[in-house]
Amino acid sequence: MSQPAIAIQGLSKRFGKRAAVDGLSFEVPTGGVCGFLGRNGAGKTTAIRMLMNLTDPSAGQALLLGLDSRRHHAELMSRVGYVAEAPILYDWMTVRELVRFTSRFYERWNTAAVDALLGRFGIDDRQKVRHLSRGTHAQLALALALGHDPELLILDEPATGLDVLVRRDFLESIIQIIQQEGRTVLLSSHLVHEVERVADQIVVIDEGRLLVSARLDDLKLRTGQSLEEIFVGLVGRREEVRQ
């Protein structure tokens, strides 16, 4: 087995007394799509922000591509692509200016791939970013995150607020991305059906804790349930216990 694309060990984040992420451990093998599921507020974004070194863990560590997310942040920046939940783009620039601006942060930049994606999404690169619709904005963020041909792509709720057709486009791009061998995608979402289509591994968290990490096929064979039933079973049962 090759090394996992992501290896998280005992990752925790406390805000005062509240643990947003609580002793989270799981691995994502290289070359697949991991659906990172949880309800709103389950701790997905906080966990991802620690992976991206945007916030410090209270405990534990994360290895991305075998490298510590904090110590090797600079190298990881050139090998990992990231789209935040609500990506903030410089909206006074035109799309073309923003692409050029972003490319300067990287040694390698795949102009052809970015142009192809913009073309597929039907984005006119002379437009001002400010004038883009919400869906186009998200697609532009994805295209930018792919410019440096990342080996690992981390998407935080990328399809939230997009209409059905744009979401299909988005899924299609994700599938295109993993057609390139050895690329790994971590896709965080609370939309079970989206994840069910593309994920081969499922990680479910609730209240910052891991509920399950398994291959989707194995989960279905073991339980005889759809992902929605599995998800509701896992998260709903906790709800009952709490009441």
Of residues 6 and 227, the one with the C-beta less far from other proteins: 227
Task: Indicate whether 173 belongs to the interface with other proteins (CB under 8 A).
Answer: no
Of residues 114 and 227, the one with the C-beta less far from other proteins: 227
Of residues 179 and 243, the one with the C-beta less far from other proteins: 179
Concatenating the DSSP letter of every residue in 60-118 gives EEEEETTEETTTTHHHHHTTEEEE-SS----TTSBHHHHHHHHHTT-S---HHHHHHHH
Out of 27, 149, 226, 234, the residue judged to bind other proteins by CB under 8 A: 226
**Cα→Cα distances 175→169, 208, 214, Å:** 10, 28, 20
Two tokens at 144?
A: 């930018």
Task: Indicate whether 225 belongs to the interface with other proteins (CB under 8 A).
Answer: yes
**What are the strands of the beta sheet with 201-206, ordered from one edge?**
80-83, 152-156, 184-189, 33-37, 201-206, 209-215
Computed on alpha carbons and rounded to an integer, the radius of gyration of the chain in Å comes to: 18
| Binding span for other proteins by CB under 8 A among 3-11, 81-89, 101-109, 198-206 | 198-206
Of residues 34 and 114, the one with the C-beta less far from other proteins: 34
Task: Indicate whether 227 belongs to the interface with other proteins (CB under 8 A).
Answer: yes
Query: Which residues form the interface with other proteins (CB under 8 A)?
Result: 31-33, 168, 171-172, 175-176, 178-179, 193, 196-200, 216-217, 220-221, 223-229
